[in-house]
């Protein structure tokens, strides 16, 4: 298991000639989290929340300013080399591979850097190329790859050492939808096979789909954690129910008001009456029953539960899409 | 060697794909011009004779031989430093530094792989330059092969050694040109490539002695111009090796923190 305890990472201010240096910046400020094997754990926050810095510390690329980080009980500072054998990092964007090598040569070289046994390296390279859909382009120089192809090769590079823990920093950035979907399937399978995965992504539907547990950070601090469902419920953001009637029915407004929820009345583009209801609970059933009993003829009923994105934005103090609806 | 040989192969592939053969014309120009201009000056201005104090300061009266060995050593040093010292900053610029640092491979074998590839390329360039010198009439006496081999090995260790801390400086400041050219200017002045360091004031001579290239150059000249046996060149060889290994040890100590500074700064150099 990867465990951080009170992790803090500060960056000293840039010194300028003839000007005093400013205060240090705390990119990560007292973060404690656990990434178990065999599960996908999410790390979410807005830009500048400290996600990438956290991942770089976990990956041994940066050292913590204070606090501790252990991987299977090994400290990231004292046992960096041993930890590097057990982990890998896939970051969004097409870099991290050599442009003047072919896809196969890149994987061969990184396999050597990870000391992958010669007996398994060839097979593993073939499997990874197949996995990311680059078998036909294996002999092509990476400089001729599209952005998506480079990112797919970068994913294969991240799996070359069969890591016990995989750190994914925006892994589907720039990928076409089918490839991103395939990658999500790969990540889910890896977790099923016992790999511990830490995922950051701006595509929150991806996080909701994959992660059993999510940490939410803001300005380097942990502000919430839990399952995506629990996080969304915990914010008490309203469900919205949009209802359209075939024609005006005088008793309906009173029936809706009797439900005790906040609502707005309007008309749609065809001049039909509409109701927009907001409530911490899903009142769609009660609303439909009340409207029908009041003589209303429902032509459309749409329920919008709060999403993880709404919850994250609410935790970060940003007006949510729900509030805007 | 698990990392060195793959890195050697990787660099060969990249070099063959990245550079056309005409690129090497440029790399040869400095050495060829140094020898060619020295040849012209020696015959057109000096009338085929070096100044009276030269033999005493240089330890040989063979001015053209002195300059030719110096130019070959200078070319070897500059090319090797450019390959080895810039390896990490090139990774940084191409966006592969993080993926390389992320791997458990150690830095020394990685740099040895880069150095071995650089050695093969650079030796070919130096041989071509020496062929030019012979073609225009420079005559080098037959060297002592054992001393020459020992001096070549010591010079390789020395140049490799000074390249590693330079690499750390380059990636930590995110800059290569000022760093490398400062070293090249200092070596050109202090190490005795084209004139005897005896002409320099004492403090500059002492500074030159702190660079292992100075003693490597003395050993190379002893092997090639004086046909000196190994025992005569041994003090310079040992000094050169000791200094080279000391620079290497300091460089390896600095590389880890330098890599973290580079990664912390992020982006490309």
- pLDDT above 70 coverage of chain A, percent: 94
DSSP A313: H
Cβ atoms of B85 and B91 within 8 Å: the answer is: no
The pLDDT-based confidence of A282 (bands split at 50, 70, 90) is confident
CB-nearest partner of A115 from B2, B100, B260: B2
| Residue ranges covered by each domain of chain B | 4-265
* Choice among A4-18, A80-94, A187-201 with the minimum mean pLDDT: A4-18
CB-nearest partner of B260 from A63, A81, A97: A63
Chain A residues in contact with B96 by the CB 8 A cut-off are 95-98
Distance from CA of A287 to the nearest CA of B (A): 54
| Domain A2-233 in CATH 3.40.50.300 | yes
- CA dihedral (B126, B132, B138, B142) positive or negative: positive
The pLDDT-based confidence of A94 (bands split at 50, 70, 90) is low
**Cβ–Cβ below 8 Å for A112 and B6:** yes
A54-63, A228-237, A240-249, B56-65: range with highest mean pLDDT: A54-63
Cβ atoms of B230 and B146 within 8 Å: the answer is: yes
- pLDDT above 90 coverage of chain A, percent: 41
Burial per residue of B108-117, b for 16 or more beta-carbon CB atoms within 10 angstroms, e otherwise:
bbbbbbbbbb
Mean pLDDT of A241-253: 84
Q: Comparing B27 with A161, which gets the higher pLDDT?
A: A161
**Cβ–Cβ below 8 Å for B96 and A95:** yes
- Classify domain A238-305 at the CATH superfamily level: ACT domain (3.30.70.260)
Mapped onto helix, strand or coil, the DSSP state of residue A133 is: coil
The pLDDT-based confidence of A260 (bands split at 50, 70, 90) is confident
Alpha-helical (H) ranges within chain B are 4-18, 23-40, 54-58, 63-85, 87-94, 97-102, 107-135, 145-173, 177-190, 202-209, 212-224, 230-265
The pLDDT-based confidence of A323 (bands split at 50, 70, 90) is very low
Mapped onto helix, strand or coil, the DSSP state of residue A213 is: strand
Q: How confident is the model at residue B45, as a pLDDT?
A: 78
The pLDDT-based confidence of A15 (bands split at 50, 70, 90) is low
Chain A residues in contact with B3 by the CB 8 A cut-off are 112-113
Q: Comparing A254 with A142, which gets the higher pLDDT?
A: A142
Q: How confident is the model at residue A321, as a pLDDT?
A: 40
Residues linked to residue A42 through DSSP beta bridges, in sequence order: A199, A214
In the structure encoding, which two tokens stand for residue B54, read together? 């030269």
- CA dihedral (B11, B12, B16, B20) positive or negative: positive
Q: Comparing A234 with B175, which gets the higher pLDDT?
A: B175
DSSP A319: P
Chain A residues in contact with B103 by the CB 8 A cut-off are 84, 110, 113-114, 161
CB-nearest partner of A11 from B2, B13, B264: B264
Residue spans in chain A of domains classed CATH 3.40.50.300: 2-233
At residue A204, φ and ψ (nearest 5 deg) are: -70, -20
pLDDT value at A111 more than 70: yes
DSSP B257: H
| Residues 104-123 of chain A whose Cβ lies under 8 A from any Cβ of chain B | 105, 108-110, 112-115
Cβ atoms of A260 and A303 within 8 Å: the answer is: no
Cβ atoms of B111 and B168 within 8 Å: the answer is: no
Residues of chain B with pLDDT under 70: 1, 267-269
Q: Which burial class, exposed, middle or buried, applies to A240 when counting CB atoms under 10 A from its CB (0-12, 13-18, 19+)? A: buried
In angstroms, rounded to a whole number, what is the distance separating the alpha carbons of residues B246 and B234?
18
């Amino acid at each position: 298991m990867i465990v951080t305890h009170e992790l803090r990472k500060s960056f000293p201010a840039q010194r300028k000639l003839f000007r005093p240096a400013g205060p240090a910046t705390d990119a990560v400020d007292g973060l404690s989290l656990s990434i178990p094997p065999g599960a996908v754990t999410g790390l979410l926050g807005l830009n500048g929340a400290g996600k990438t810095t956290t991942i770089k510390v976990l990956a041994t690329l940066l050292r913590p300013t204070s606090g501790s980080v252990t991987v299977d009980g090994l400290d990231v500072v004292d046992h960096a080399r041993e930890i590097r054998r057990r982990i890998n990092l896939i970051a969004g964007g097409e870099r991290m591979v050599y442009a003047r090598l072919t896809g196969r040569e890149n994987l061969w070289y990184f396999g050597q850097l990870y000391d992958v046994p010669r007996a398994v390296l060839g097979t593993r390279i073939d499997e990874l190329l197949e996995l990311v859909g680059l078998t036909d382009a294996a002999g092509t120089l990476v400089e001729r790859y599209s952005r998506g192809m480079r990112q797919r090769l970068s994913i294969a590079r991240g799996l070359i050492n069969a890591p016990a823990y995989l750190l994914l920093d925006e892994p589907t950035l720039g990928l076409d939808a089918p490839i991103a979907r395939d990658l999500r399937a790969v990540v889910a399978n890896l977790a099923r096979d016992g790999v511990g995965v830490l995922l950051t992504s701006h595509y929150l539907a991806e996080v909701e789909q994959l992660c059993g547990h999510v940490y939410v950070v803001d300005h380097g601090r942990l502000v919430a954690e839990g399952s995506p469902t629990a996080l969304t419920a915990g914010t008490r953001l309203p469900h919205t129910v949009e209802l359209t009637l075939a024609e005006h029915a005088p008793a309906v407004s009173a029936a809706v008001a009797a439900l005790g929820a906040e609502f707005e009345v309007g008309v749609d583009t065809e001049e039909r009456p509409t109701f927009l209801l907001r409530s911490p609970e899903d009142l769609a059933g009660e609303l439909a029953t009340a409207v029908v009993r009041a003589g209303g003829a429902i032509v459309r009923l749409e329920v919008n539960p709060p999403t993880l994105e709404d919850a994250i934005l609410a935790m970060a103090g940003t007006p949510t899409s729900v509030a805007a609806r | 060697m698990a990392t060195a040989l793959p890195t050697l192969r990787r660099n060969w592939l990249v070099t063959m794909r990245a550079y056309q053969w005409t690129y090497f014309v440029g790399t040869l120009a400095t050495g060829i011009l140094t020898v060619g201009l020295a040849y012209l000056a020696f015959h057109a201005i000096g009338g085929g004779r070096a100044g009276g104090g030269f033999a005493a300061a240089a330890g040989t009266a063979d001015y053209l031989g002195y300059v030719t060995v110096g130019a070959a050593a200078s070319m070897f040093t500059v090319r090797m430093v450019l390959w080895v010292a810039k390896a990490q900053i090139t990774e940084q610029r191409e966006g592969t530094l993080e993926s390389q640092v992320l791997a458990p491979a150690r830095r020394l074998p990685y740099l040895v792989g880069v150095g071995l590839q650089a050695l093969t390329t650079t030796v070919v360039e130096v041989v071509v330059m020496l062929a030019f010198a012979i073609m225009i009439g420079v005559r080098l006496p037959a060297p002592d092969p054992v001393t020459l081999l020992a001096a070549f090995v010591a010079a390789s260790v020395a140049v490799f050694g000074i390249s590693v801390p330079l690499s750390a400086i380059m990636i930590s400041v995110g800059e290569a040109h000022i760093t490398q050219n400062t070293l090249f200017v200092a070596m050109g002045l202090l190490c005795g490539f084209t004139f005897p360091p005896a002409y320099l004031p004492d403090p500059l001579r002492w500074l030159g002695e702190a660079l292992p290239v100075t003693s490597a150059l003395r050993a190379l000249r002893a092997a090639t111009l004086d046909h000196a046996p190994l025992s005569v060149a041994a003090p310079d060889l040992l000094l050169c090796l000791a200094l080279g290994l000391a620079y290497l040890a300091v460089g390896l100590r600095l590389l880890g923190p330098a890599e973290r500074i580079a990664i912390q700064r992020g982006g490309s150099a």
